Structure 1
Amino acid sequence: MAMTDLLSAEDIKKAVGAFSAADSFDHKKFFQMVGLKKKSADDVKKVFHILDKDKSGYIEEDELGFILKGFSPDARDLSAKETKTLMAAGDKDGDGKIGVDEFSTLVAES
């Protein structure tokens, strides 16, 4: 399944482009712009599984740095600061990774 099966290619392009500058990433604005906020809980979980590159059931910090590439292959990587900020926002139980329920909560809070 591709991200464009779930989200509009135009919305993805706009959202990724809006955060092309280093240290500009804001997950709340990004999830709204990309259309994820309006998706069903089931679709949000499908997006999570696309972003979980190693299929571990979690998005670890190293995968989180490449989150924009999960939406668009030519997107930039997040900076270390952006990655840590996103991990802190999403990792509710403090285990150093974001599970599917934590991801769903992160999107819902946007």
Structure 2
Amino acid sequence: MSFAGVLADADVKAALAGCAAADSFNYKTFFKACGLAAKSHEEVKKAFFVIDQDQSGFIEEDELKLFLQTFGAGARELTAAETKAFLAAGDEDGDGMIGVDEFVTLVKA
């Protein structure tokens, strides 16, 4: 599964370029730049299931680390600090994972 049909390739490339440097990732900026923030709740949920690589129903810390790579081959991994900040922003219930509803809230924030 990919983001084809949900996000424009040019927008994704621009979003990835905007956070290519280590410690430059900002989820709000990224979601806006790639166009995900403007998508419907259902489309955001589709994106969640692409990012949830093990299909557990949650995005865990190891999947967040590889977050950018789900948007483009060759993209960098998030740094430990970026990963922890991203998880903290999205994990509303404190279980150490981001569920689908938490992800939608995070994207739409």
Report the TM-score, using the length of structure 2 for normalisation: 0.98
Spell out, residue by residue over 1:2-50, the C-alpha distance to the aligned partner (whole angstroms, 9 max, x if none): 2122100000000001100000000000000000011010000000000
Give the distance between the partners of 1:106 and 1:2, measured in 2 at CA: 20
C-alpha distance in structure 2 between counterparts of 1:64 and 1:2, whole Å: 16
- Determine the structure 2 residue equivalent to 1:12: 12
In 2, distance between residues paired with 1:58 and 1:73?
Answer: 22
State the match for 2:97 in structure 1. 97
Structure 2 matches for 1:38-57, cutoff 5 A?
Answer: 38-57=38-57
Task: Give the aligned length.
Answer: 109
Matched with 1:107 is 107
Distance in 2 of aligned mates of 1:107 and 1:2: 18
Aligned match of 1:87: 87
Aligned partner of 2:76: which letter?
Answer: R
Amino acid at match of 1:6: V
Q: Give ranges in structure 1 of 5+ residues lacking alignment.
A: none
| Alignment root-mean-square deviation, CA | 0.6
Partner of 1:24: 24
SS of the aligned residue for 2:87 comes to helix
Percent identity over the alignment?
52
**Could you give the per-residue CA deviations for residues 44-86 of structure 1, whole angstroms, max 9, x where no partner exists?**
0000000000000000001000000111111100000000000
Q: What TM-score, normalized by structure 1, do the two folds share?
A: 0.97
